[in-house]
Amino acid sequence: MGAVRIAIIAIAGIAGVALAFLIHGMMAPKPVAPVAVAAVSKPMAQVLVAKKDLPIGWRITPADLNWQAWPIEALNANFITDGAAPTPQPKDAASKVANTATRAATDLVMGQGPMQAFEGAIVKEALMAGEPITARKVVRAGQSGYLSVVLQPGMRAMAIPVTAETGAGGFILPGDRVDVLQSRAQDNGGSKAFVTETLMQNLRVLAIDQTTSPEADAKTVVGAVATLEVPSSDVEVLARGKAQGEMILALRSYADVGGASGRGGPAAREQSVNIIRAGNSTEVAVR
């Protein structure tokens, strides 16, 4: 075989191998460039939630509440929404839940803004930060169980009869602090003497009649019954006082509401004053 023929055969072999690699490269699948998929936004509603942890007995203010975006499909009929239509519009099933929640909110707030409607409400079950506000976990004035939530641990609610005269002219309002006094006659060797005793001191007024919070700008509340917050160990003091006769409420200054609440003590008889009216002499014991 001549050298020329061998060279031709070699060149043909190299060309064949090169052609095979070329054909393989053309038939191999080409990598597909990744395509950015636009995120599908879920329809959201605004739900009223606790801005911070709220313990049992906490009195709610608008600063304790906040609006938080909530997925429509996760809405509960008991949640309070702002009533605004979510964007984009939800599907039929989710829309029903949203409408139910909105109606529940409307019934609860009675035409007011939800935050303002819950102002002054008391936390009945502890709320965590970010937890939706529901009617089951709060109680408002006038609702069942209100006083039992308002009462501090170890305290009891007791009612005593009052008049405008014995209740500081009606200027005692729910939330004020009072002392409870009583004057009663005592036999003092045949002469009529009166002894005044401070039965209880620094008690919080829970309600006057069924009024647990005065109306806006109200300066007086005149009622027949005052409900007071009394330490559990001292309830018998007021019970005995009611049996002995009329009691008087003395309004305390806001600058003098500190200190413990509890029973007082009999007034120390330091001197007596002889009062003569229409010829009748009456000795009155004073501090």
Q: What is the pLDDT of residues 141-154, one digit of tens each?
A: 767 777 888 888 89
* C-alpha separations of 71 from 21, 46, 47, 80, 103 in Å: 56, 9, 10, 13, 18
Confidence of residue 252 (pLDDT cuts 50, 70, 90): very high
d(CA 79, CA 86): 15
Alpha-helical segments (H) within the chain: 3-27, 92-109, 114-117, 146-150, 235-244
Residue of 268 and 193 predicted with greater confidence = 193
* pLDDT tops 50 at residue 110: no
d(CA 127, CA 53): 6
pLDDT given for residue 226 in this prediction: 94
pLDDT given for residue 156 in this prediction: 93
pLDDT given for residue 106 in this prediction: 47
Q: Identify the H or E element spanning 272.
A: strand 271-277
* pLDDT tops 80 at residue 265: no
Q: What is the mean pLDDT of residues 55-68?
A: 87
Residue of 146 and 199 predicted with greater confidence = 199
pLDDT given for residue 36 in this prediction: 56
Q: Is the pTM of this model over 0.85?
A: no
DSSP SS3 for 116: helix
pLDDT given for residue 219 in this prediction: 84
pLDDT given for residue 212 in this prediction: 80
* pLDDT tops 90 at residue 157: yes
Confidence of residue 64 (pLDDT cuts 50, 70, 90): very high
pLDDT tens sequence across 32-53: 666 555 555 778 888 999 999 9
**Average pLDDT value for the chain:** 78
Taking the domain 44-139, which CATH number applies? 3.90.1210.10
Of 153, 151, 156, the residue nearest 235 (C-alpha): 156
Residue of 63 and 106 predicted with greater confidence = 63
d(CA 25, CA 40): 39
Phi-psi region of 242 (alpha: psi -120 to 50; beta: other; left: phi over 0): alpha
Residue of 145 and 126 predicted with greater confidence = 126
* pLDDT tops 50 at residue 77: yes
Residue of 204 and 113 predicted with greater confidence = 204
pLDDT given for residue 229 in this prediction: 94
The share of the chain scoring above pLDDT 90, in percent, equals 24
Domain positions in the chain are: 44-139, 154-286
DSSP of 167-212: TGGGT--TT-EEEEEEEEEEEETTEEEEEEEEEEEEEEEEEETTBS
DSSP SS3 for 105: helix
pLDDT given for residue 264 in this prediction: 79
Which range, of 54-68, 163-177, 189-203, 264-278, averages the lowest pLDDT?
264-278
The distance in angstroms from the start CA to the end CA of the chain is 146
pLDDT given for residue 269 in this prediction: 43
* pLDDT tops 90 at residue 12: no
Give the tokens for residue 45.
């509603």
pLDDT tens sequence across 231-247: 999 999 999 988 888 89
